[in-house]
Copies of this chain bind each other. A is one copy, B any other.
């Protein structure tokens, strides 16, 4: 009995010593990861090239193809085990010449306002679609107004993002229905066009584009849809209050083409002992066409590439197979994400973990996790390791659009959560450019992602 007790005590003591050693070793490795990213990182240089030498890269564009070739070449340079392109057909939509719009108070008296076509919109009439304009706050307002008051008019959706929500993503979620479904809904009531207040918490002159859907509308019933800058929306709203009979004219020659060939770009470090367990880090390589897509999602792309580069740089050999996946077509189709998941399923690849960075290159605050309680408890036990880096935000929630299709039981999906305050100042707009990204903030994000990947590789998914 004494022997048994002694054994138990010994086991307990050695377990506890082991656990302490691990924590110490983990914190040394995290320190190495952060220091390497901040002192000798490559994410910022990569972003400089992607943003300033390639630029905006909407699916199906020449720039998107250039980005694919560049990413493949750069991943090969870092000397990982395997780099390849995964074919995927993507939609192709082009903006055409720069849009214009004006408010007409009486014939010949006009005021220009900044607009841009929503992604996927049909064009206006040649020379412009001009009509009286009616302001609403909610999609449901149309039902109250009825066909009589909407028919033949342009519908102006003007519900602002709710500024007192601390997460700007919640504020976005609370009004993006106007952009996504506004045209489909207004068309049902006979509207001839749709103008949507930009999803932006700041008052400025940048219209913000983004995806939209016509739902089940037939081609002949589709109406053109544009975003107006927040300053433009406020002006239009106040002019409408003064005179409800003003007209609005907007001109766009955007166009949807046949699907074209594109690619997800994939790089891999093959696992040493558990090569058949796959862990993915990724962002999306496509962007909208107005800016150069530095925050959305150039940052996520270079941070994901950097995860593999940092693991190599610090000499860490993962047990599991770590993949970086640069998804194509997140913005207007999610074809890349769906394709990657379909191929993985088809090949019977056992994906145990996926992490996406698609919320901007700002100071990282933590992650949101789509996982079960056992895994979330394990994650919470790692919180002290992240404290020196001011990473404090570990919540259950959504992960990322591109990795969503991978979801299955006993898998951890995670999304990097940077500070969100400035994200919608730039999101889908002309000012989403390289100069809006801070080098240190970007590098801290890359290190934070790498640290999580390291911990999951070391301790596994429960």
A residues with a Cβ closer than 8 A to B are: 34-35, 38-39, 163-164, 166, 168, 201-202, 363, 365, 388-390, 392-393, 419, 421-422, 425, 438-441, 444
Contact = CB atoms under 8 A, between A and B. Distances in A.
Contact of A393 (B38, B164, B390): B390
Report the copy number of this chain in the oligomer: 2
A35 B390 contact: no
A163 B441 CA distance: 12
A422 B422 CA distance: 13
Q: Which of A39, A393, A419: most chain B CB closer than 10 A?
A: A419
A439 B35 contact: no
A207 B34 CA distance: 28
A449 to B, nearest CB: 16
A421 B444 contact: yes
Contact of A440 (B163, B388, B444): B163
A365 B440 CA distance: 17
A202 B388 contact: no
A166 B388 contact: yes
A444 B422 CA distance: 12
Contacts of A38: 163-164
A274 B448 CA distance: 47
A164 B389 CA distance: 11
A166 B392 contact: no
Contacts of A164: 34-35, 38-39
Nearest to A168: B440
Contact of A390 (B34, B201, B365, B425): B365
A39 B163 contact: yes
Contacts of A425: 438
A45 B438 CA distance: 25
A205 to B, nearest CB: 14
Contact of A363 (B163, B201, B393, B421): B421
Contact of A166 (B389, B393, B439): B389
Contacts of A388: 166
A422 B38 CA distance: 14
Contact of A34 (B35, B166, B441): B166
Given A166-B390, A392-B392, 18 more contacts: A38-B163, A39-B163, A163-B440, A166-B388, A166-B444, A202-B439, A363-B363, A363-B419, A363-B421, A390-B392, A390-B393, A392-B393, A419-B419, A421-B438, A421-B441, A422-B438, A422-B441, A425-B438
Contacts of A168: 440
Contacts of A392: 390, 392-393
A307 to B, nearest CB: 18
A35 B165 CA distance: 8
Nearest to A389: B166
Contacts of A444: 166, 421
13 contacts: A38-B164, A166-B390, A166-B444, A363-B363, A363-B419, A363-B421, A390-B392, A421-B440, A421-B441, A421-B444, A422-B440, A422-B441, A425-B438
Contacts of A390: 166, 365, 392-393
A41 to B, nearest CB: 9
Contacts of A202: 439
Top-3 shortest CB links A-B: A35-B164, A392-B392, A38-B164
A164 B388 CA distance: 12
Contacts of A365: 390
A329 to B, nearest CB: 31
Contacts of A439: 202
B393 A440 contact: no
Contacts of A393: 390, 392
A19 B35 CA distance: 44
Contacts of A441: 421-422
Contacts of A39: 163-164
A202 B164 CA distance: 33
Contacts of A163: 38-39, 440
Contacts of A440: 163, 168, 201, 421-422
A164 B39 CA distance: 6
Nearest to A393: B390
Contacts of A34: 164, 166
A38 B171 CA distance: 13
